[in-house]
């Protein structure tokens, strides 16, 4: 059960690409948004609901599952797919991002990263080899190389050293990877320095990964800088491999980065926003907790998702205010459906070479013309 | 859309009854367990899931909905069914129980009960008339009379006065009730005093309610005393009306009280237990948080519910330990399905006049023979 990617078409007026993923007898189109299931569950949702809203690949977090319930438990359960009852493709991250963000304080060594568990304070060491072993044990379909996630801004001097470390870790992880159906992606780092992005991408490509991710964006920089970093990075990546922009899910960022050649995205935002009562609409994000929705007996918007077909803003507001998790569930369904629908529109507009026009139209509606 | 009840059969060896409820083109069999949807949502579950596990009538709490979002909001939404997207029958309580339990301190006056909102401390007054008006505004199918819920134990002297108050309140509520499709039930109080239960039941029956509830059990007394109070109460209730035992959901109590002539039950326990990782099984309740389930890759039990068909104890344990609400949702599905299945078995055994034998068998399995 190996995931296969095929590039179908590249836009002539932008770097946007259409592609197809085959997995387990199913095909999925790219560009694609991937919902995040940190603890082997996309918060509040059943696998059937993910399918219904149009999800393909979903994410699971290696760091979280390593700590709890432990990768061996999941292996003995028959692997991550069986454990969580999801038969679509699953991508696991390397654990790196969590080690650098959740689990402070840390010691960055040549060997790996020493840190304390955010759950119980246990001292732990995560290395490139260990990360691959955990991901192999979990049994995901796409694994990520362990990399250093550097906060923005950082000096070029630091970033140079960090890129070397990331390359070294990528090589070590690849070296011990088993010859099985799991894909392994390298991660392009290098911050806002074009020459470092180029260097990192080129070195990774020499190692011949199954796909490439772009890391170190969405770490506090401006959107313009993010787009530049993506632009630098995709320029040096091969056409025939998947390109994954990590941790990015703001609707406009999906469009902008597809225009720069990205195929797949992940972000916790649709479910996290839902828990706080925020819903995407084609006319911008709305906060359902607002008093104005108390007696608004219309759906979030004119939309074909389960939530919009059956529930009003007034009901959703009531559930969120009363802290009823059915509210998070209903808004999560809408938000993920919204992002999948956005990706479908993006794909349709790549086909007709109109993505730039679609972007302008989207901005006009979503931001009321106030973007850029 | 009026709910109709028809008694179909009474057991000859016990007071157990089989009946049928017709509502909105559907029929539902009694005895029945009713899941509780305090805030117009049965915690974590969608209406479709309630249907799938076999739910018929569900409850909503008048006190909670009065305070938030307010009964007028729900009326303007088109009523409770439309607001929460549930087309089966809905029963609302009177708010009395919450006023006496959640919302202390209180002043019990002839007029009604003064109390402070548990949400914001506002001083409020709930009267029998107000309770009916709120329930009419909500648009439930079965309304309950406002009654005094007395903590156990209480002196007979106090209980005598309290029963008079409850009867007076029941009469006042009935007097202002509109002539519409909503049913109104009276509530038999009287604590553990047989003569007071008799008096209360007889006076309510004279007022000719659409059905009768038994209140003031499950307030701290022993199970044996609860069964006696139910026995006292049902003896004086008419055969052709529904009998509802409030707030009782422990499996053995469902069986014991069906044997004493009860038709419908409600309790928060299946969803509340689920949130704490507890699941019913035919061999007793289990705590899925226990370490022994960490690598138990079998379902909760051999059961046809969605949860048992698709998920293992190890996964459920992981979700509950990681505080993922999908865990509460999956266990809630199983627990409610379990109680509905228990009621179906109870009904089957009433038909064959074998409920007493079924009870003995149930006790042997559920308690390992250690009950009574």
Report all structural domains of chain B as residue ranges with CATH numbers, in order of start. Answer: 4-267 (3.20.20.105), 279-372 (no CATH)
* Residue A104 pLDDT exceeds 90: no
Confidence at residue A26, expressed as pLDDT on a 0 to 100 scale:
97
For the annotated catalytic residues of B, the residue numbers are 93, 266
* Residue A243 pLDDT exceeds 80: yes
Query: Is residue A195 among the annotated active site residues?
Result: no
Confidence at residue B372, expressed as pLDDT on a 0 to 100 scale:
47
Helix (H) or strand (E) holding B59: strand B58-60
Confidence at residue A74, expressed as pLDDT on a 0 to 100 scale:
98
- For the segment A148-173, the average pLDDT, to the nearest whole number, is 95
Confidence at residue A269, expressed as pLDDT on a 0 to 100 scale:
98
Q: How far apart are alpha carbons B217 and A177 in whole angstroms?
A: 64
Cβ contacts of B311 on chain A, cutoff 8 Å:
85
Cβ contacts of A40 on chain B, cutoff 8 Å:
315, 318
Confidence at residue A372, expressed as pLDDT on a 0 to 100 scale:
47
The C-alpha angle with vertex A36 and arms to A31 and A41, in degrees rounded to 5, equals 135
- Whole-angstrom CA distances from A172 to A96, A242, A250, A325, B211 are 15, 21, 33, 43, 74
Cβ contacts of B73 on chain A, cutoff 8 Å:
294-295, 314, 318
- Whole-angstrom CA distances from B202 to A138, B195, B277 are 66, 10, 43
Confidence at residue B369, expressed as pLDDT on a 0 to 100 scale:
59
Closest residue in chain B to residue A76, using alpha carbons only: B295
pLDDT-derived band at A221 (thresholds 50, 70, 90) equals confident
Inter-chain touch A41–B319, beta carbons under 8 Å: yes
Cβ contacts of A324 on chain B, cutoff 8 Å:
39, 41, 43
B23 close to A (CB below 8 A): no
3-state SS of chain A?
Answer: CCCEEEEEEECCCCCCEEEEEEECCEEEEECEEEEECCCCCCCCCCHHHHHHHCCCCEEECHHHHHHCCCHHHHHHCCCHHHHHCCCCCEEECCCHHHHHHCCCCEEECCCCEEEECCCCCCEEEECHHHHHHHHHHHCCCEEECCCCCCCCCCCHHHHHHHHHHHHHHHHHHHHHCCCCCCEEEEEECCCCCHHHHHHHHHHHHHHCCCEEEECCCCCCCCHHHHHHHHHHHHCCCCCCCEEEECCCCCHHHHHHHHCCCCCEEEECHHHHHHHCCEECCCCCCEECCCHHHCCCCCCCCCCCCHHHHHCCHHHHHHHHHCCCHHHHHHHHHHHHHHHHHHHHHHHHHHHCCCHHHHHHHHHHHHCCCCCC
A81 close to B (CB below 8 A): no
For residue A145, give both structure tokens: 């190389």
Nearest beta carbon to residue A312 from set B46, B77, B318? B77
- Whole-angstrom CA distances from B149 to B101, B133, B257 are 9, 20, 20
- For the segment A135-139, the average pLDDT, to the nearest whole number, is 98
Cα–Cα nearest to A93, from A266, A231, A240: A266
Give me the residues of chain B with pLDDT under 50, please: 372
Confidence at residue A218, expressed as pLDDT on a 0 to 100 scale:
84
A295 close to B (CB below 8 A): yes
Cβ atoms of residues B314 and A69 within 8 Å: yes
B347 close to A (CB below 8 A): no
Confidence at residue B370, expressed as pLDDT on a 0 to 100 scale:
58
Confidence at residue A369, expressed as pLDDT on a 0 to 100 scale:
59
B317 close to A (CB below 8 A): yes
A297 close to B (CB below 8 A): yes
């Amino acid at each position: 059960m190996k995931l296969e990617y095929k590039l179908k078409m590249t836009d002539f007026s932008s770097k946007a690409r259409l592609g197809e993923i085959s997995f387990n007898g199913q095909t999925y189109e790219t560009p694609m948004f991937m919902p995040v299931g940190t603890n082997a569950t996309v918060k509040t949702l059943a696998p059937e609901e993910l399918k219904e809203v149009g999800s393909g690949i979903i994410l699971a977090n290696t760091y979280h599952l390593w700590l709890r319930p432990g990768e061996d438990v999941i292996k003995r359960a028959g692997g991550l797919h069986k454990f969580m009852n999801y038969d679509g493709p699953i991508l696991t991250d390397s654990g790196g991002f969590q080690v650098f963000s959740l689990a402070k304080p840390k010691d960055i060594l040549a060997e790996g990263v020493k840190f304390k568990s955010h759950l119980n304070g246990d001292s732990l060491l995560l290395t490139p080899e260990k990360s691959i072993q955990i991901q192999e044990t979990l049994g995901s379909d796409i694994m990520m190389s362990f990399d250093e996630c550097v906060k923005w801004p950082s000096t070029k001097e630091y970033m140079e050293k960090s890129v070397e470390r990331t390359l070294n870790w990528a090589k070590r992880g690849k070296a011990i990877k088993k010859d099985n159906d799991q894909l392994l992606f390298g991660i392009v780092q290098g911050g806002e320095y074009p020459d470092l992005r180029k260097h990192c991408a080129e070195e990774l490509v020499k190692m011949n990964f199954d796909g490439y991710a772009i890391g170190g964006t969405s770490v506090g920089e401006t959107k313009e800088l993010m787009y530049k970093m993506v632009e630098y990075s995709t320029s040096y990546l091969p056409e025939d491999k998947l390109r994954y922009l990590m941790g990015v899910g703001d609707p406009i960022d999906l469009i902008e980065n597809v225009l720069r050649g990205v195929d797949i995205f992940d972000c916790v935002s649709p479910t996290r926003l839902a828990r706080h009562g925020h819903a995407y609409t084609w006319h911008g994000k709305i906060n359902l907790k607002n008093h104005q929705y108390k007696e608004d007996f219309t759906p979030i918007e004119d939309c074909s998702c389960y939530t919009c077909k059956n529930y009003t803003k007034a009901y959703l507001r009531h559930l969120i205010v009363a802290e009823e998790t059915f509210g998070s569930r209903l808004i999560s369904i809408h938000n993920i459906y919204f992002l999948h629908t956005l990706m479908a529109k993006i794909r349709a507009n790549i086909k007709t070479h109109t993505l730039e026009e679609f972007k302008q139209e989207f901005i006009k509606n979503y931001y009321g013309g106030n973007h850029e």
